Structures are given as structure tokens and as C-alpha cells.
């Protein structure tokens, strides 16, 4: 059982472009799990297929371990120093997205007027931010339902291992990507 993280990240990048982002950046965690790796791969494929400049910053694992907040501050500063300067940013971890929103406010960068911002919804805190931030979301009830059904099917012999199902993710637009 897995989510379509690669396709979901690509849909988010398309959403940012469709919302007016000409220079779409990504500030990504190190690819220490499948989701983080899929996001980086989706960004690389997306920029190659669209001909857009690559404005990707992948935080180093050692930096993240040593100082998580400082790693995102440094990563955001590197992103903002890039040329062309990004006008849209995908930060694929909810708590990092919240931190980045606050850092942007400290730098007097207005979301969405100056920069479109999107993240994921893991813990559910992102909808309470000002402005509420657009998210890539997983359908946890459907994942649970289908995982339970898969287990029952394996027990009953209706399926044979290994088996896999892919569950769609969704982009949920909020004011952070609306101009």
C-alpha cells in the first residue's frame, strides 16, 4: 500500500505554475524516506519536462540532524538568493512549511502576493496559519480501508503476496496560492 507521492508532488508543482508561479522552487528534506525522495525526483522531472529553471534546495541530512530550524533557515536563504528569484515554493513537510511561512513574514515576503507557498498536511496544523496554506494531502481513511481489505484478502487467499495498491493524493488549494 502506498500513496502516489511522485504524481502528487508533480500535481502540486503544476498547481503552483497554474496559480501564477513562473519560478517554482522546492525546499526539500533529505531523501531519507520514499516520500522525500519522490518529491525531489518529481521536481527534477517536472523542471526537465517544462523547461523551467531548477530552483531546488535539498537540505543535507547532517545539517538537519545538527540543527533542524537552522537547516531550513539556511535553505530558505539559499532559495531566495537564486536567480530567477522564486515566486512560488513547495516545502514538502508540514511543520517545515509552517516554519518557512513564519520566516517569510520575518523577511517581509508576503504570501501569496510576493510568493506562493504550498506544503503537505500531516499533522493538520497548516490550515490554522495566516494565510492558510495549500497542501498535498493523503487519503488516510481510504489507505486504512484498503490496507485492511488487502490483509483480509491475503488471509482468505483471495490475493497472493506480494501485492501493491496505489492511493491517490490530492492538492487542496488555500489562500496561500491564490492571487
pLDDT in tens, 55-96: 999 999 999 999 999 999 999 999 999 999 999 999 999 999
Q: What angle do CA 76, 78, 83 make, to 5 degrees?
A: 115
Task: Examine the pLDDT at 161 and tell me if it is beyond 90.
Answer: no
Distance of CA 157 to the CA centre of its chain: 37
Please give the mean pLDDT across all residues of the chain: 92
Average pLDDT value for residue range 9-38 = 96
Q: Under a CB-based contact definition with an 8 Å cutoff, are residues 25 and 57 in contact?
A: yes
Q: Which residues contact 18 (CB under 8 A, 6 or more apart)?
A: none
CATH level 3 topology of 2-137+171-177: Rossmann fold (3.40.50)
CA geometry: angle 124, 55, 129, nearest 5 deg? 25
Helix and strand numbers (H, E) in the chain are 6, 8
Contacts of residue 58, defined as CB under 8 A and 6 or more positions apart, other chains included, come to 28, 29, 30, 31, 40
Angle between helices 68-81 and 94-106 (to 10 degrees): 60
What pTM was estimated for this model as a whole?
0.90
d(CA 90, CA 76) in angstroms, rounded, equals 11
Domain locations in the chain? Answer: 2-137+171-177
27 pLDDT above the threshold of 70: yes
Amino acid at each position: 500500500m502506498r500513496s502516489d507521492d511522485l504524481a502528487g508532488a508533480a500535481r502540486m508543482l503544476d498547481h503552483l505554475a497554474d496559480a501564477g508561479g513562473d519560478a517554482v522552487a522546492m525546499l526539500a528534506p533529505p531523501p531519507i524516506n520514499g516520500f522525500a525522495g519522490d518529491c525531489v525526483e518529481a521536481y527534477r522531472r517536472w523542471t526537465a519536462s517544462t523547461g523551467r529553471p531548477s530552483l531546488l534546495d535539498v537540505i543535507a541530512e547532517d545539517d538537519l540532524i545538527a540543527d533542524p530550524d537552522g537547516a531550513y533557515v539556511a535553505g530558505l536563504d539559499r532559495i531566495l538568493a537564486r536567480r530567477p528569484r522564486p515566486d512560488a515554493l513547495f516545502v514538502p513537510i508540514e511543520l517545515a512549511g509552517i516554519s518557512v511561512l513564519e520566516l517569510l513574514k520575518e523577511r517581509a515576503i508576503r504570501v501569496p502576493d510576493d510568493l506562493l507557498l504550498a506544503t503537505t498536511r500531516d499533522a493538520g496544523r497548516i490550515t490554522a496559519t495566516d494565510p492558510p496554506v495549500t497542501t498535498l494531502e493523503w487519503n488516510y481513511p481510504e489507505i486504512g480501508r484498503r490496507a485492511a481489505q488487502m490483509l483480509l484478502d491475503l488471509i482468505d487467499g483471495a490475493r497472493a503476496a506480494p501485492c501493491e495498491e496505489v492511493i491517490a493524493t490530492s492538492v487542496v488549494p488555500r489562500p496561500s496560492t491564490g492571487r
